[in-house]
Structure 1
């Protein structure tokens, strides 16, 4: 693609790639593809899914090139994201299977690139609206196939892993493959639908239908993590509302107080973990997870600093995943904890980079949401809270739509709370700082 001669209008392909209509269609396509990855792979194969991602990455490069004049290079990707992805790439060199590890990294980097592209062509409201539209469709499809399998036809849909248990009130999986992944997706959708309602982005009837749909499927998933996520998000909503309605001069003290309460709460929660687990009825499940995590730590002792190399989801034929599953007589596809998974694959260096990457994004987005007037800015920290809490029980934030949302939220947070913004403000002159309430990249 070449630039038009000076003074001449840009070519029609450049205009198309830089258009708001294409940006919206691109965002919907990326979110729809990544959130329905399991169904696509089961129905059309992994090669089909990979081909779609390649096409979206190529199109994303074209979009960013066409919009290069409105994108600041230093604000393109948060430094912590770059460092984490770079360390994952370096780990390929000491992996037991460099080829498999490299392709696992390519998948991770591709989804990160798609998230970066969305973060620079859509603002927060547009992103939440696109996610809401996608989740309404996917959750409706999930409910439809569950009704067909469990009530109308009374037979499981094995190609999608649907057992047809909706008549017994669950657990259901929908088109997401597992009940835990459905519950996780439903909670993310529920947050998005409630933000849509508060911002009056859709009609009231659509909002009510969406909230009932997401809440119903979250309950029918019978996932033990859904209740934990709901409590965590509820506490975050209350704390954020308290901060937003406090006086500006006392806001910093309140933030530090809330931070202290969180630390105390986590300590008490860890100390009382056994009664909590018994109350949730997840004793056997948690015991299985503890055995898995202890085994992962045992294998980590061989390579504590650098880990065993990045794969993302486990390759059951590769060491140490094969040895862990063989020793436990199981067939785990992940470490069932994002933090332990990063620790096993990337060592302590990788874990420090991951926690810095996620933690900085959460702090930035939380501070931004506590100071801005519009409720739309609460979407990013609430999604991050969901991702980070779920990471204690699953590894969904390391691949698929969990990883996409994590990077997207980090990009979104870095656009308003970063040293890069000061550079842009100096270059652009006065009156361009974060004080303006208008959203970036508004529709043209």
Structure 2
């Protein structure tokens, strides 16, 4: 690599054909250059924790294979998997805080699940190395919107453009002029990947599903990945998840229960009986999911998980996420450990004892919020300090606050 650009390289890797093509081009170059000429190189893969299960397995295997190969060769290369922070995970927001399932207007998921985790990693890389060049797997032939997006960027004579969010990051898009057939020809006939695993599974995923590839999202101006081959299985930004339907028709019948749940949470946001009447700012419009709706969504998710696992699938929500949801519910409306009780109905959280909660400070909740949450926190503190033992009185008070809070529609401050 040119000493003129002796800076870190960052490969944005969505797992789709175009980003895989760029990844392989870069990796092949790294394996052929003298090691003293190599720049530190990173690929970033975004894992929202709600990827389609068959795609998640593919991601896990490909990351493991490439990182092992790079280590064996002694290359300064690593794929880093970006995850959302615990308080920004999908289930914590949807079921815990009551965020309605995302729409194209209220697309709360993209920034929390994809953009922020990626930005955090890029920031760390730039701070470590001083500057970086980011490669994108974008092509003009994808669509007119993509062509316009590529052509409006000011590109230097060396092929670089400035990144809008990072002063010390340049963007390089090596396959902008490639056609779809060029990409597939490169991946399937001309160049077997250096890490030793063929692209047969990738090709199979594309042949099974329909819809466009989900590009690696770096800012909110980009379109959503709803319905793409490599999007989230819970995505409600589209009317139908055609990729999931394609997987099911191609033999992945165990995914049918996931598709049914996805349709349920999409319909739930339009069901006024499942939404609070007020937003937290007091405006009279549908607010967050009610406490009863959140309980129903959790119960349906765990039922779907049980059916999916019976067909050989994996867990859909982690114990850590269930625990965080339980704490949020305690803070907002629940004095009966409902999350734990519901989880136990489906064989989850079996080692957690149910007891009358004395609320604890939880980082997930804004301690400056008003109304029922603040009242419950004050009462809990009094109970703690005064050593009150009458749990019946405590529960009655908390239940009354729960009822009033539900009427007011209190929830997270963005709703």
Larger RCO (CA under 8 A, 6+ residues apart): 1
Q: TM-score, normalised by structure 1?
A: 0.28
Which has the larger strand fraction?
A: 2
Q: TM-score, normalised by structure 2?
A: 0.29
